[in-house]
Amino acid sequence: MLGAAATWTLPVFLEKTFFALDALAADTATQTVTGKDGTILVVLQLAGGNDGLNTVVPYADDAYHVARPRLRLSADQVLKIDSRIALNPKLAGLKSLYDEGHLAIVQGVGYPNPNRSHFRSTEIWQTASDADRMVSDGWLGRYFDNCCRGADPTVGVAIGEETPQAFAAKNPTGVTFSRLEQFRFQPSERGSGQMSAEEIFFRQLNETAASDETRTLVSNVGGSIGAISGKAKNDLSTLDFLQRTALDAQLSSDKILAIARKYKPTVPYPQGQLAASLNIISRMIAGGLPTRVYYASQGGFDTHAGQINSHERLMGEFNDAVAALVADLKQQGNFERVLLMTFSEFGRRVQENANGGTDHGTAAPMFVIGGAVKAGLFGKYPSLTDLDHGDLKFNTDFRGVYATVLDRWLKAPSQVVLGRKFPTLGIV
Amino acid sequence: MKVLTPLPDSKWNDTTAAHLLNRAGFGGTPIEIGRTRGKGLAAAVQDLVDVKSDAANVLSPAWAHPRNIQAARMEIKAAKDRGENFQTKARQVRMLEGQEIVDLRRWWLDRMLNGPAPLLEKMTLFWHGHFATSIQKVRDAYWMWLQNDTLRRNAFGNFGTLVKKISRDPAMMIYLDLQQSRREHPNENWARELMELFTVGIGNYTEQDIRESARAFTGYRIDMTTQQFRFAPFQQDHGTKTFMGQSGNLNGDDIIDILLRQPACAQFIGRKLWRFFVEDEPSKDIVATIAERIRVHNFEMRPVLREIFSAAEFYSDRVTSSQIKSPIQYIVQTSKLLDAPLPAPIVAQNAMRQMGQIIFAPPNVKGWDGGKEWISTSTLLFRYNFANYLINGDVILPPNAAKRRQGDDVGFGHTAHLAEQVRREPIDVGEFVPPEIRGKPPEVVDLLVKRFFHARPAEKEIETFVKFLESRASDTGDTTLRELVHLMMSTPQFQLV
């Protein structure tokens, strides 16, 4: 005899679970705005240290051509922004966005006492800490902790194999996945639409009460965020952490797959991993997943040797993927609600090296793209002659850009999330 | 505070014996656990730590021998110069390299599961994560094998000796650009990671130390005709270097000797060892004690390991079943518990990638962070679904998979040949569950829980397992039992060891 449970259908089961979650959310002081109708941030990491000088090119500066005899981009190749600054020739999509008034270029972004280790500098960007402080919580994790308590786990969605440290929080929030088709539990028997008995029991095993308790944990967070010392990824015991992740996986997989089935891209996307990630993000936005922050990344920017070809390819991939996303969002009517921000752990050395590449450097530009963005050049292009050990001196702290996004876009108190006040920019 | 007290004999039982096999190896079946308990603690630890010296003399993969790379390159270049289609030749070489690395991964997993010295393999895995080096940059499976062999032969030996060998290891030299370092232009990549990641840790050296030690490591080269380390005296910087307060014509080995004398070095290694084998967040006392033991034993690893695996702290309730299985542990231990062969090489490789630990291709020179980093919503679901494949075999693949495999879906390969490679039989669950108890759900569950979980899951979960069997009252066949095993593995608890 089959147990009664086996006759439950999927929607009934889900309704029960989500009802319980919604009730929880209502009790907690949190941002009522979700990604369903509110603003959305897409963070795009260019991993490996993108060469800022060949991305936003100071083509009129002689010092650039002297320092880059082999790698330099000449005035007749680049896409000119003004009489001094131009975009990499591969960034045609971004150039149009600039001309339409949807691209802000923040120049010379960095932080004091720059670290040239990939890992440490990435950590600094992900945690928004000072260079000499070790902090384990990510800056987006602190946003989730402070402003999204009790929210659906999909308030943060990272596309990739690993959860970015930026999402690390006291009370872990957010889901990570790379391939849609694998982001679901597959029971041993292949069902015919109805949920299999195994799957129903599986659901019971992966929605333990402990997870609900941890969801409402109130942690002590105030104005002293910056003083939190780096230790564990979060305060949960290992088993609690696993149970919490299991519940998040189950609930979010149901939602995400339902949306993915229903919403298909409205524009063609190019090949490549970044384009695939942005394609998923745009479908989730179209389907109204209650996400405030999406995270995607593109790798391969550590161009120590033979940079000329590899960087050109990377710029092309980046440009084409972002252009497809923008076209898709416009088609959906969501471009006004989405803001995309790029970052890389550092720029590269001004002087090219002996292997036709560039070594780890410091300050670099960030791109901010969106329907509501005010186009223009922000910050100041760093001098190519007044250098610090061969590297550019930053003039805009990256946390000022984060603060802008938090205060003006996500409507979250940046001082609480970042630990202190940083001057914001008029990007939005 | 006194730490590292030996575990009293009275505490030696099935639970502590299972814990030893879990952490100092890749777990044990109920029979193996019983055998280990029967030996007694001292003998059990001795069997793991004092493996015969020829345990490291393992049969290498057939292809793992030096080749004259220079000659192969010349051949391709000559073909190019003659205007021949050299790209076919170059592609053949690349294909071969791809097959070799898949085979190398299979070879090592096989050693972990079936080899005579599980702790030796686990310690080799520890060193692989410590001296992380990736095929993606090295691009030659022979060099990756050679490094693995060096790590294994020195796994229980002297740490200083191992660091010196690694500084001359071709794979590492390529990975951190050491073989490109010239007297006029010393490359700082190796020098920086030697300090930041291999010996003393960040904050225990200056940028000046990096620059000076980079000069000391000049002259290290690789002979491309033999694929071995070669020293080039003319490339060596013989000038005076000042490193951590010492001046002189220091060479690379001198730098390593100075680093090992820094108090931070024993602490750094000790903390990492304890994190790998015992717990994610070692206390200050534990780190200080382990560091002291490392110094007492002059950086010999074997006695340090013996003390760790004999210590009451290692067996404390706080420690047992508190560690998240690494993906490698997951693959090897699950195969062992299911008494099933390892997944096919190409499947194992894909699974390692999806779970976030692909051996011979760590994400970067820092290796794997481990602990909670292993788990995200994505990797957890993957583990659950991978368990399904391990238990039920390739029948779980979608019905149209065979057809897809003949198309050019790169996910599962592009030839029918690959379909053959992922083929897997369902496990023989009858081996664990005798027919006479099949009609008794609580007994079946009890038996299987003992096999698959180290710490008994909460009663609520046990009840759910029983209820599942009860819902199938009339059907206690192998299919139902395999579903139950899959349910057991699709739990947070099963991820712990």
pLDDT tens profile B2-61? 678 999 999 999 999 999 999 999 999 999 999 999 999 999 999 999 987 677 888 899
Tell me whether A162 touches chain B (CB under 8 Å).
yes
pLDDT at site B93: 74
pLDDT at site A236: 76
Tell me whether A132 touches chain B (CB under 8 Å).
no
ipTM reported for the complex, 2 dp:
0.91
Residue B360 sits in the same domain as residue B387: yes
Residue B339 sits in the same domain as residue B396: yes
Please report, rounded to a whole number, the percentage of residues in chain A having pLDDT higher than 70: 83
Would you call A242 and B467 a contact, using CB atoms and an 8 Å cutoff? no
Choose the weakest-confidence range: B183-187, B320-324, B392-396.
B392-396
Residue B411 sits in the same domain as residue B462: no
Residue B417 sits in the same domain as residue B388: yes
Tell me whether B491 touches chain A (CB under 8 Å).
yes
Nearest Cα neighbor of B340 from B66, B36, B83, B113 is B113
Is residue A358 pLDDT above 80, yes or no? yes
Rounded Cα distance between B91 and B98, Å, is: 11
| Partner residue opposite A238 with nearest CB, options B396, B465, B496 | B496
Tell me whether residue B486 is in a domain: yes
State pLDDT tens for residues B396-443: 665 554 444 444 443 333 445 667 778 899 999 999 999 999 989 999
What is the distance in angstroms between the Cα of B231 and the nearest Cα belonging to chain A? 22
Tell me whether A117 touches chain B (CB under 8 Å).
yes
- A44 beta partners: A296, A342
| Partner residue opposite A201 with nearest CB, options B384, B468, B474 | B468
| Partner residue opposite B471 with nearest CB, options A6, A119, A208 | A6
Residue B362 sits in the same domain as residue B332: yes
Q: Which residues of B touch A153 (CB under 8 A)?
A: 377
Tell me whether residue B55 is in a domain: no
Name residue A196's amino acid. S
Question: Under DSSP, is residue A368 helix (H, G, I), strand (E, B) or coil?
Answer: strand
Tell me whether B319 touches chain A (CB under 8 Å).
no
Is residue B109 pLDDT above 80, yes or no? yes
Tell me whether residue B393 is in a domain: yes
State pLDDT tens for residues A54-102: 999 999 999 999 999 999 999 999 999 999 999 999 999 999 999 999 9
Residue B415 sits in the same domain as residue B331: yes
Tell me whether residue B137 is in a domain: no
β-strands A156-159, A293-298 pairing: parallel
Better-scored residue on pLDDT, A136 or A227 = A136
Mutation target for B interface from A188, A243, A295: give the one with most B CBs within 10 A.
A188
Tell me whether residue B92 is in a domain: no
pLDDT at site A35: 56
Residue B465 sits in the same domain as residue B434: yes
Tell me whether residue B314 is in a domain: no
| Domain stop point among B369, B401, B421 | B421
Q: Which residues of A touch B377 (CB under 8 A)?
A: 153, 175-177, 183, 245, 248-249, 252-253
Please report, rounded to a whole number, the percentage of residues in chain B having pLDDT higher than 70: 95
Rounded Cα distance between A42 and A292, Å, is: 8
Tell me whether residue B490 is in a domain: yes
Tell me the residue range of the domain where B438 lies.
429-495
pLDDT at site A217: 33
Predicted TM-score (pTM) of the model is 0.79
Would you call A177 and B378 a contact, using CB atoms and an 8 Å cutoff? yes
Would you call A249 and B377 a contact, using CB atoms and an 8 Å cutoff? yes
Residue B468 sits in the same domain as residue B435: yes
Tell me whether B46 touches chain A (CB under 8 Å).
no
Would you call B464 and A231 a contact, using CB atoms and an 8 Å cutoff? no
Residue B414 sits in the same domain as residue B436: no
Residue B334 sits in the same domain as residue B410: yes
Residue B465 sits in the same domain as residue B417: no
Of A145-159, A189-203, A269-283, highest mean pLDDT: A269-283
Average pLDDT over residues A243-265: 90
User: Chains A and B: how many Cβ contacts under 8 Å?
Assistant: 150
Nearest Cα neighbor of A385 from A31, A25, A58, A6 is A58
Mutation target for A interface from B381, B412, B461: give the one with most A CBs within 10 A.
B381
Is residue A209 pLDDT above 60, yes or no? no
Is residue A9 pLDDT above 80, yes or no? no
> Which chain B residue shows the shortest CA-CA distance from A48?
B364
Is residue A418 pLDDT above 80, yes or no? yes
Tell me whether A26 touches chain B (CB under 8 Å).
no
| Domain stop point among B400, B421, B442 | B421
Burial track B17-37 (b if 16+ CB lie within 10 A, e otherwise): bbbbbbbbbbbbeeeebeebb
Tell me whether A351 touches chain B (CB under 8 Å).
no
What is the distance in angstroms between the Cα of A76 and the nearest Cα belonging to chain B? 34
DSSP string, A130-165: -TT----S-HHHHHHHHH-TT--GGGEEEESSS--G
Number of domains in chain B: 2
Is A70 buried (19+), middle (13-18) or exposed (0-12) by CB count in 10 A? exposed
Contacts for A217 with CB less than 8 Å, ≥ 6 apart: A170, A171, A235
Mutation target for A interface from B196, B318, B378: give the one with most A CBs within 10 A.
B378
Nearest Cα neighbor of B480 from A208, B488, B461 is B488
> Which chain B residue shows the shortest CA-CA distance from A233?
B372
pLDDT at site B9: 94
State pLDDT tens for residues B356-378: 899 999 988 889 989 998 998 88
Tell me whether residue B177 is in a domain: no
Is residue B353 pLDDT above 80, yes or no? yes
| Domain stop point among B389, B421, B453 | B421
Would you call B471 and A197 a contact, using CB atoms and an 8 Å cutoff? yes
Residue B340 sits in the same domain as residue B381: yes
Average pLDDT over residues B111-124: 96
Assign B317 a pLDDT band (cuts: 50, 70, 90): very high
pLDDT at site A135: 83
